[in-house]
Chains A and B, each alone.
Chain A
Amino acid sequence: MQTRGHPNRLGIRGWVGGGRWGFERYLYTLHRLTGLALLAYFTMHIFVTSARALGPESWKSAMDVVSGPLFAMGEYLVFAAFVFHAINGVRLGAIELGFAVGRPIEPIYPYATSVGRQRRLARAVLMIAFVVALWGGLDFFVWK
């Protein structure tokens, strides 16, 4: 990937802070972390669930390995990571396509930015993700 004279000097350190990062920058970091975690889980999930192709005994053995409270908590974390990643991904897609950032205006002092408009969407994303994750938590641990 060409950086056009602006190399990424901070590297991974830049994910946790590199100056006056805004709220959305930390959502970006969380988006990446949840994405990497989901990819790692998904890779393992492909192997575990492929046991169904070998019949019921193989499936039961695989399910026995991934059962217990620790795995139940792990599955819930995967669910919560998916919820955040999906809803935040919709926000990122909307912003990339120019939605929820307001109309372009002339840069006349005092300058206005689209951050105020974006911030509302970011807060809404967090709130929706929290509610869905909470609902999932009740289903995982209480209503089951």
Chain B
Amino acid sequence: MRDRTLWTWHIGAGLVILVLLGLHMTIMHLSGTLGFLGVQDGEPTEWANVAARAGSLFFTVTYVLLLGAALYHGFYGLRNILMELNPGRRLRTIINVGVSVVGLALFVFGTWAALAAPGAATMVGG
């Protein structure tokens, strides 16, 4: 695929990340602000809250979308940094295949976790 197309996807993925990771960071790490606004109550990493998010279709879909966008953006960025160091032809192939395989494997693993989580969410926890 042409670099221009891949670069356009890279920017598009960045915009997706900006929105979804911004949302994720706000929910997970700005609980004081959200609590002040009356939007959220309790620690977001408590099992009850984790299970509630895992059972939500909105959170599952946006999680997988964020996972894909972030992995593509991150590994394509890493590939570009490595390519700038002028690797040889053989090493370029290894880099291209390596970032694709690792990125895809992480996407499959992360998606499995997101899809399996609603089942685990029904388990009772402290």
Contacts and interface: CB of A to CB of B under 8 A. Distances in A.
A23 B45 CA distance: 39
Interface residues of A, number: 42
Interface residues on B, range: 35 or more
Contacts of B36: 143
Nearest to B82: A1
B39 interface: no
Interface string B19-53: 00110010001111101100000000101001100
B1 to A, nearest CB: 14
Contacts of A57: 125
Interface of B: 3, 11, 14-15, 17-18, 21-22, 25, 29-33, 35-36, 45, 47, 50-51, 54, 67, 70-71, 74-75, 77-78, 80-81, 83-86, 106, 109-110, 112-114, 116-117, 119-121, 123-126
List the 7 shortest-distance A-B pairs measured between CB atoms, nearest first.
A56-B125, A143-B32, A50-B113, A53-B116, A39-B74, A1-B83, A139-B32
Interface of A: 1, 3, 7-8, 11-12, 32, 35-36, 38-39, 42-43, 46-47, 49-50, 52-57, 59-60, 63, 75, 79, 82, 86, 89-90, 93, 96, 135-136, 138-140, 142-144
